[in-house]
Amino acid sequence: MYVAEVDQRDWDEFAERLTFAINTAQDRIRGDTPFYLIHGWDPRSTLEATLPVKNTGTRDRDPKRWRYKIQRQYQRARSAVNDRLQAAIQERADRHNEDLEPHEIEVGAQVWLYLD
């Protein structure tokens, strides 16, 4: 967010919109929005809530079936997030380890310890 003044004092006017923007932004690592991963459904803005909803079909009219469908989608999303997180962790570890060089210190060797 761009701040025009050094002494910005109206953050409370932007807090709700900023929170919505952060929670609905697609995360590169997780592959989904933080809001969906916490709640299991995507948030709707005021405009989306007032627009007419398209026909969901007869099979979605059964609440139990609809709930199981939503739960399966949520579980797939969580599983995909966990897979992507593990891959990102491994990628980060590989990048870190490729620049490391073995050290010359052997077990039992005497070393100087400098404390600042």
pLDDT at 12: 81
> In this structure, is residue 66 part of a structural domain?
yes
- The mean pLDDT value for 92-103 works out to 89
Q: How far is CA 8 from CA 2, 13, 19, 93, 108, in A?
A: 11, 11, 18, 39, 57
Instruction: Report which listed range, 53-57, 72-76, 87-91, is most confident.
Output: 87-91
- Whether the pTM exceeds 0.75: the reply is no
> In this structure, is residue 92 part of a structural domain?
yes
> In this structure, is residue 104 part of a structural domain?
no
Q: How many domains, the chain?
A: 1
The 3-class SS string of 32-83 reads CCHHHHHHCCCCCCHHHHHCCCCCCCHHHHCHHHHHHHHHHHHHHHHHHHHH
- The mean pLDDT value for 39-64 works out to 69
pLDDT at 87: 92
Query: Contact 53/44 with Cβ under 8 angstroms?
Result: no
pLDDT at 17: 82
pLDDT higher than 60, residue 56: no
45: containing domain: 13-52+59-96
> In this structure, is residue 106 part of a structural domain?
no
106 DSSP 8-state letter: P
